[in-house]
Amino acid sequence: MTTPWPDLPAEAAAHVLPLLEKGLHQDWSRPAGETDWSLLELLDHVTLGVTGYAGLLVARPADRYIALRTGNDPHAPAAERLESITIAATLLSHTVRATAPEVRAYHPWGASDRTGFAAMGAVEILVHAHDLTRTLGFDWTPPDHLAEQAVERLFPGAPAGHPPGLTLLWACGRVALPGVPRLPRGRWQWYGEVR
């Protein structure tokens, strides 16, 4: 079943946050997977990115990123930072719902529309949840029904014939697929342009 585009970011957050809450008793100051951030910093990165996508749809710049900056109290615990992700995802979902289909806004990986920004928000949440769960010791892959839409919208050249959750992780340089080597870390990007 396809998730309506406006619901995709909020549904992604609703799916991953209960899982991440199971790790709240752990040390969130340690490095998150293969990223350059701690677990706490990665939560802040997701909040900033997802809120920024809503801001881009509102401001609609043609050639630059927006000046909006969000962040958490540097002393806020992980539970409060997870709450920030819920807020950011909800803001993006509402913004996507309120944005006309013909609206375009800048993104460095291609000017995009509301469906593109919904997919970008879902990718931020799902892929970084994978980074977080790996560090927290949970074996988790993004759910296929959420990952499939993001892959179809943002990664048109992704290899076919694999589960969408794994394909999304491959497209973001996290895993190899059977017969398809892992993309080099930092050498991947999505295609945001409207097709």
Residue 191 lies in a domain: no
pTM of the model: 0.96
In a domain, 180, yes or no: no
At residue 71, the pLDDT reads 65
Total number of domains in the chain: 1
pLDDT, tens digit (0-9, with 9 covering 90-100), for 52-98:
999 999 999 989 888 776 666 788 999 999 999 999 999 999 999 99
Look at residue 20 and tell me if it is in a domain: yes
Q: Which residues contact 46 (CB under 8 A, 6 or more apart)?
A: 85, 88, 124, 125, 128
DSSP letters spanning 87-150:
HHHHHHHHHHHHS-TT--B--TT--B-HHHHHHHHHHHHHHHHHHHHHHHT------HHHHHHH
Give the orientation angle of helix 78-98 with respect to helix 8-21, to 10 degrees: 170
Residue 35 inside a domain? The answer is yes
Does the residue 177 lie in any domain? no
Residue 186 forms part of a structural domain: no
pLDDT tens digit string along 103-161?
999 999 999 999 999 999 999 999 999 999 999 999 999 999 999 999 999 999 999 99
35 vs 125 pLDDT, higher one: 125
CB 45 within 8 A of CB 154: no
The answer to the question of residue 72 being in a domain is yes
How far apart, in whole angstroms, are the C-alpha atoms of residue 124 and residue 150? Answer: 10
CATH number at residue 135: 1.20.120
Q: Domain of 111?
A: 5-171
Q: Is residue 126, in this structure, part of any structural domain at all?
A: yes
